[in-house]
A = this chain, B = another copy of it.
């Protein structure tokens, strides 16, 4: 009998799942439209159409349009955080450049998305309706920052990195990554064909930013004296 007439609790659970599914649908639709049409041209109506639901329903999930945007930002930041955490773990385990590498890779993996999020942030800053969510975003970032700080401090102590304030290192990295993302979309440059190689070059720069006393082309590093893992061999 249970299998035939699902309990009230079952039905509620079912409904919740459907509800959450729909929420994801909305986000996906919004994201797809933002990427394909540009932020300006996406309306709540078009999101609803793309998601295959009614416009009113969107407002059952998000109080305002801005909440959709901020949600996309949060989702993205979470994924960055996860990747970065893994990178930091690796770095702590000895691979000194791993954190920077992971960071670059995650941001450059979907540069169009990274860039979208940057632009969304510009839109939303000073929007009172999503101020709390933006605060949450900042908290996540600061938490990441703390982890980076600790890690970098240790690398400085071990003599791997230049002895400048720790945030110099990761902010320089952040800046380069930021710029690299924009680079993918700038229409002004002549050379854009070999962007993969170019990104490797830039990542190389990023990974070694602030390395003590040296820069090495990462593609040529095989054995070496400076890497921390040299001790392992």
Contacts and interface: CB of A to CB of B under 8 A. Distances in A.
A71 interface: no
State which size class the interface on A falls in: 35 or more
B190 A145 contact: yes
12 contacts: A137-B188, A167-B198, A172-B176, A172-B202, A174-B179, A200-B219, A204-B215, A205-B209, A205-B210, A227-B227, A227-B230, A230-B233
Interface of A: 38, 40, 97, 101, 118-119, 122-123, 125-126, 137-138, 141-142, 145, 162, 164-165, 167-168, 171-172, 174-180, 182-183, 186-191, 194, 197-198, 200-205, 207-219, 223-230, 232-233
User: How often does this chain occur in the complex, in copies?
Assistant: 4
A188 B138 contact: yes
* Most B C-beta atoms less than 10 A away, residue of A97, A223, A225: A225
A226 B224 contact: no
Contacts of A189: 141, 145, 167, 171
